[in-house]
Structure 1
Amino acid sequence: MVSNFRQKEILDLARTDGKVTVDGLAKRYDVTVQTIRRDLAELAASGRLERVHGGAVIASGVVNIEYAERQQLNADGKARIARACAQAIPNGASVFLNIGTTTEAVAHALLDHENLLVVTNNTNIATILAANRSCEIILTGGVLRRADGGLVGMLAAEMVGQFKFDLSVLGCSAIDADGDLLDFDEQEVLVSRRAIDRSRQVMIVADHDKFRRKAPLSIASLADADALFTDQPLDAPLQARCAQWGTRVILGP
Structure 2
Amino acid sequence: MKFSIKDKLKAVLELMRVKNCLMAMIAVLIGAMVVSQVVRPLPFDAINVILAMISAFFICAGGQAINDIFDAKIDAKLNKKKPIPSKRITKNQATVLTILFYCVGLFFAQINEITIFIAIMMVVLLTLYSSVLRKVKYLGNFIVALGTSLTFIYGASAVGVITNTIILFTIAAFFANVAREITKDFEDIKKDKGVKVTFPILLKEKAKSIAIFFYVASPLTAIAGYIFLDLNILYLGGVVVATIVFAKAYELFVKRKYSLAQKKCKQAMMISLIAFILSIVII
Q: TM-score, normalised by structure 2?
A: 0.26
* Greater strand share, structure number: 1
Q: TM-score, normalised by structure 1?
A: 0.28
Asked which structure has the greater RCO (Cα within 8 Å, sep 6+), the reply is 2
